Chains A and B, each alone.
Chain A
């Protein structure tokens, strides 16, 4: 009869561990079926994502005259972008647009979530109404608000004049001062339901017994929110903020349709600028270089996003 001593037992474990192949290719070969399953998706992604990105990077080092072949010009596209005053103005516009939109949408969305979470008669209806902006397409939203802001026929001007608050029509989307705030207003109106949904989902996971414990401990409604709800929502808040920031940075439809970047480029943001450079001015090289800069910025955001997501995984484990 074989008696296993502890030493022998550890020896066996060591042998078994050493049988696990060190070579990553051997291990990949053993899991070939897994790779086969994801191959179709990877194959498609190569053509619609990897190839365009690679081609964009390639183009960013070339001058692309409308007539004739592309000419290698090294980093010239990049240096001309970064040294141009216009780039910094547009970056400023983009930051203004993104930060203010995100903060306002977050505050309003969280408030809406707190309201929609409470139990009251007609809650379903209120939730439904809050969701309306989210289900209207961006293009439709843009045209609705262009009409509302229209100086001669618009709802805003008309109502204010009827009420006698102003005497001449308000110029909004054609004003260098008011065009951007108006765009942000529309963007917040359009985006807050998304934040509401995210926060509502988060709020519903706040354990009831913690709220009750806080009540027993003497916490006021605000203190319950501050000490129990908010810490519990930290993960949701980070992810929602990151997603909203990326969405806003990438936003094209609203500014492009409502103002086309005008007046005097005051509402041009990165994306509209890239589009205008490429498809209006046909300066593909410089547009590509611009895209690569944005790509790097977005990827760094993505890094934080993935990190925030996986931090949650670790906590669950």
Chain B
């Protein structure tokens, strides 16, 4: 087991910058998710760690070894691929034995480890089959087994669950998490599915445009997003963003929304808003932080019902404010007709204030400690 450290890693494909100065430290035994939309550079980052593609600049360390220029086979890492990449002409046994054979393990040793791994994954009865005779879930287990069998220092996983059906995915997710806890291995897991990242990872690196936007535990990513991208990417339904101008009248700071509403800020939020570079902020409020009222009152944001979606546990209320539609989550029995007027209050201690110019989160002291532009190695908080 080992720590993995990326130091100012840069990758160009021809002239396209795929990974832009990424520095990350993945602690020994951590389960780290690289999360982001497609094209954000997460898989490229994983392949750089694996050594499958050549790095343009920067360093990669595994434990106390600089592996930047080492071949994949010399890095002592294993990888689980999205489409499993099982050798179609080999049996399950042959697939599991292959990495050990390549490392010149003795026949007895190979046999013992293959059988033990198969047992662990409950695939002992499949050892003589070929990959095409297996179901998706079974192939997934074999792929996992091939990574486990030689006890590597680091596991890399490239969207390993994305080819499974929804039910199996939930099951394998729990199994993977349990494996990680049992093995206590360093795992780096690429996914575009925030639910996978949130449920399994100890730390999440949210990536976009080849950069790490935020790196920290799931709760921090969710409750304390560093910028507008992270705030909008994490959470479902997505966070609502209200754009407005900061106005101070008679000692009271409020936001004057582009749609004409005016919302007073608490002293703390006013303090945050005061750091806005051009006097404009974005208020981020998760759907659950909208408080709906049918009565007009001062300091509430007026809107009208667009549609109401009961989901059983709760109700999603789509609300039109000006031209935009926002989503609120409310109690399961809330009902309303389209175009009914509605007034919105926000849970002030739960909302986020972003600078409209930089799209970075604004804090009381004005500093964003998670900003990645400082070019430091990001340690999970």
Contacts and interface: CB of A to CB of B under 8 A. Distances in A.
B81 interface: yes
A213 B79 CA distance: 7
A219 interface: yes
Interface in A25-82: none
A317 to B, nearest CB: 11
Given A223-B102, A227-B98, A215 B73 contact: yes
B81 A212 contact: yes
B146 A215 contact: no
Nearest to A224: B102
A151 to B, nearest CB: 51
Most chain B beta carbons < 10 A, residue from A210, A215, A216, A232: A216
Interface stretch (B82-90, B217-225, B343-351, B356-364): B82-90
Size bracket, chain B contacts: 20 to 34
A215 B98 CA distance: 11
A228 interface: yes
Contacts of B50: 216
B291 interface: no
Chain A contact residues, majority secondary structure: helix
B85 A207 contact: yes
Nearest to A219: B102
B85 A213 contact: yes
Contact of A215 (B72, B83, B103): B72
Interface string B65-108: 00000011100011101110111111000000011001100000
A209 interface: yes
Contacts of B99: 216-218
Identify which of A210, A213, A220 gathers the most chain B CB atoms within 10 Å of its CB: A213
B190 to A, nearest CB: 14
B204 to A, nearest CB: 24
Contacts of B90: 227
A231 interface: yes
B79 A219 contact: no
B52 interface: yes
B85 A219 contact: no
For chain B, what secondary structure do more than half of its interface residues adopt (helix, strand, loop), or is it mixed? loop
B48 to A, nearest CB: 13
Q: Report which residue of A214, A217, A228, A232 has the largest number of chain B beta carbons within 10 angstroms of its beta carbon.
A: A217
Interface in A61-118: none
B83 A209 contact: yes
A217 B81 contact: no
B52 A227 contact: no
Contacts of B86: 213
Contacts of B81: 209, 212-213
A216 B77 contact: yes
Contacts of B83: 209
A133 B87 CA distance: 37
Interface in A185-224: 207, 209-210, 212-220, 223
Contacts of A210: 85, 87-88
A212 B85 CA distance: 8
B87 A216 contact: no
B52 A217 contact: no
Give the interface centre of B72, B85, B98 by most chain A CB atoms within 10 Å: B85
Contacts of A232: 88-89
Contacts of A234: 89
B102 A228 contact: no
13 contacts: A209-B83, A212-B79, A213-B85, A213-B146, A215-B71, A217-B78, A217-B99, A218-B99, A220-B73, A227-B87, A227-B90, A231-B87, A232-B88
Interface of B: 50-52, 71-73, 77-79, 81-83, 85-90, 98-99, 102-103, 146
Given A210-B88, A231-B87, A231-B89, 15 more contacts: A210-B85, A212-B85, A213-B85, A213-B86, A213-B146, A215-B52, A215-B71, A216-B73, A217-B78, A217-B98, A217-B99, A217-B102, A217-B146, A223-B102, A227-B90
Which 7 A/B pairs are nearest by Cβ-Cβ distance?
A: A218-B102, A213-B85, A218-B73, A217-B99, A231-B89, A209-B85, A216-B79
